[in-house]
Structure 1
Amino acid sequence: MDSVEIFIIKEGKRQTARLLCDTEMLTIKFVLENGYSKVYSGDDFYECLGLIRKEHSDLTFLCKGAKINVHPSSMSSQMSQGVKAYELTLGKYALRSDIVSIFDYEENNLTNDPQIQKEFFLRWVETDIPEI
C-alpha cells in the first residue's frame, strides 16, 4: 500500500491529508488530520480521487487530479492505474510532456466535480487541432 500526502484547504486553513492507495484492490483510504477516514474504490485511482473530492465538496484539494483540464487517457489509466493523467490544452495535442501525477501539487483551476473535468475532456476531444 502506497501512502501519499496532499494538501487540502479545510475551513480556510491548509492541512495535509493522507491517501493510502491499495494497488491490488484499487482503493484509496482518505485520512484527515482529525482522524476521519473513509475508503473509496473505483476503476482507477483517478476515479477514486474524484469520488473523494465529490463527497467532500467543502474541501479544496490542491493536486493535479482536481484540476479542470486534467484527465487520464485509457492507456495512461491502464498503465498507471490512473495515477498519471494528461494536463490538456484546448486546440493542442496531448504530448508526453503533458503527463502529470494526479497527486502533484496544484492550486489553479481546481474543481471538486469530476463531471466538470469530463466535460472539459469532451470539449478537448471535439476541438479542431490545427495541422503542424
Structure 2
Amino acid sequence: MERVEIVIIRNGERQSAEFLCDTKNVTITFVMLDGYTKSYSGSDFYNCFGDVRQEHQDISFLCKGAMINVHPSSMSSQMTQGVKAYELTLGKCATRDDIVNIFDYEEKNLTNDPEVQKKFFMQWIESDIIES
C-alpha cells in the first residue's frame, strides 16, 4: 500500500489529506484530517481519483490529475495503473516531456468533473496535431 500526501482546499482552508493506494486491488482510500475515510476502486488510479473528486464537489484537489487537460493514454493506464498521464495541449502531439504524476501538486486549471476532462481529451484528439 502506497501512501500519497496531497493538498486539498475544504471550506476555504488548505489542508493535508492522504490517498492510500492499493496497487493489488486498484483502490484509493481517501483519508482526511477529521478522520473521514472512503475507498474507491476502478480500472486504474486515474479513474478512482475521478470518482473521489466527483463525489466531493465541495473540495478542491490540488493535483495534476484534476487538471482539465490531463488524461492517460491506454498504454500509460496499463503500465502505471493510471498514476502517469499526459498533460495535453490542443494542437500539440503528446511526448514523454508531457507525462505527469496525477498526484503531484497543481493549483491551476482544475476540475472535479471527469466529464470535463473527457471532453477536453476529445477536443485534443480532434485538434490539428502538429508534430514536435
Q: Same fold (TM over 0.5)?
A: yes
2-structure distance, mates of 1:93, 1:131: 6
| Map of 1:117 onto structure 2 | 117
* Residues 38 and 97 of structure 1: CA distance in aligned 2, closer, same or farther (over 3 Å): same
Match of 1:71 in 2: 71
Cα offsets for 1:68-119 (capped at 9, x unmatched):
0000000000000000000000000000000000000000000000000000
**Structure 1 CA distance, aligned partners of 2:81 and 2:98?**
17
Give, in whole Å, the separation in 1 of the partners of 2:129 and 2:104.
28
Instruction: Report % sequence identity.
Output: 67
After TM superposition, the structure 1 = structure 2 runs for residues 1-132 of structure 1, keeping only pairs within 5 Å, are 1-130=1-130
Q: Give the unaligned 5+ runs of structure 2.
A: none
User: Could you state the TM-score of these two structures normalised by the residue count of structure 1?
Assistant: 0.98
Unpaired runs of at least 5, structure 1:
none
Query: Matched residue pairs, number?
Result: 132
| Aligned-partner residue type, residue 36 of structure 1 | Y
